[in-house]
Copies of this chain bind each other. A is one copy, B any other.
Amino acid sequence: MTEELTSFLQEIKYDIEERLPKHLEQLRAPLVLKDAMIYSLNAGGKRIRPALLLATIKSFEKPIRSGLDMACAIEMIHTYSLIHDDLPAMDDDDLRRGKPTNHKVFGEAMAILAGDALLTYSFELVATMNEKEITATQKLLLIQELAKAAGPEGMVGGQVADIEGENQALTLEELVYIHQHKTGELLAMSIVAGAIIAGATTDDIRNLRLFAKELGLMFQIKDDILDVEGDTETIGKPSGSDDGNNKSTYPNLLGLNGAKKKLDEHMLRAKEYLYNVNMNHELLLTLTTYVAERDH
């Protein structure tokens, strides 16, 4: 990772982590609910979605500030999905990033409600963003993209397909469907949202959406590879834990080298789409390389 990217990601992480709880602290809502929402929002993570959104805005040479609330909204939706995924009825996880999961601390009922509240509030946040340079039509488009990426045709649909595919041998096509929907859509949406906020042309948005789709798949393939190669300390969960759940993964389907080849293919296509966009490519190129080469 270049020094420039490192400092960009650190800066973003700092800005977002400072801003996220502030939105919730001012709510007139039961304290325990706000605590449960903030607990999981504050649980850290790479903040990759905010980084993608803000990197896109920066690449169009627009002020990052204009995307901070949208980045918070996306991070809230990502966080709600983690809270619900960890529930006993779903993945039944006790730990997330080394900390007890939401339902372990606040109980199952509160975890369900904290997730519901984060999801709902994220739409209020986008609808009320105090950014004069973003028009009502742009905000509506952002809400539409966010709901589509997170809802039945996006993330929730992918989660359902993932559950349905558990303990089954999946085809590569089925595996791609799950990843594109469960994680890919929201990652891609982060980039598309950046382009919308930056006022990009329809053509540029189309190419960035295709770029983002490739990047999302790269992200998942790399996760699967790290899960085979990585050690527990670096990636924060027991190595091979997906294997234990009998889940289909890229290395399982294609072999480790096959998965790495697939990753390279997606990176090649990602870069092709990116070069079609009328923007400064450097930051997103570096990010693309980082996704493929990161060690956690």
Contact = CB atoms under 8 A, between A and B. Distances in A.
Interface of A: 24, 27-30, 32-34, 37, 80, 84, 87, 89-90, 107-110, 112-113, 115-117, 119-121, 123-124, 127-128, 135-137, 139-141, 143-144, 146-148, 150-153, 156-157, 159-161, 163-164
A64 B275 CA distance: 49
A152 B121 contact: yes
B123 A147 contact: yes
B90 A112 contact: yes
A109 B128 CA distance: 32
A113 B24 CA distance: 24
A30 B161 contact: yes
Contacts of A121: 147, 151-152
B123 A153 contact: no
Contacts of A116: 80, 84, 115-116, 119, 156
A89 B117 contact: no
Nearest to A124: B147
A207 to B, nearest CB: 22
A160 to B, nearest CB: 4
B124 A159 contact: no
A255 to B, nearest CB: 28
A112 B87 contact: yes
Contacts of A124: 143-144, 147-148, 151
Given A87-B112, A120-B150, A151-B117, A33 B127 contact: no
> DSSP class of A's interface residues: helix, strand, loop or mixed?
helix
Contacts of A117: 151-152, 156-157
24 contacts: A24-B152, A29-B152, A29-B153, A29-B156, A29-B160, A32-B160, A32-B164, A33-B156, A33-B157, A84-B116, A89-B107, A90-B112, A110-B160, A113-B163, A115-B116, A116-B116, A120-B156, A121-B147, A121-B152, A123-B123, A123-B147, A127-B147, A128-B144, A136-B140
A151 B28 CA distance: 11
B160 A30 contact: yes
A189 to B, nearest CB: 12
Contact of A152 (B33, B139, B152): B33
B147 A120 contact: yes
B112 A84 contact: yes
Contacts of A157: 28-30, 33, 117
Given A116-B156, A127-B143, 15 more contacts: A29-B156, A29-B157, A30-B160, A32-B164, A84-B112, A117-B152, A120-B147, A121-B147, A121-B151, A121-B152, A123-B143, A123-B146, A124-B147, A140-B140, A143-B143
A34 B144 contact: no
Nearest to A122: B147
A113 B159 contact: yes
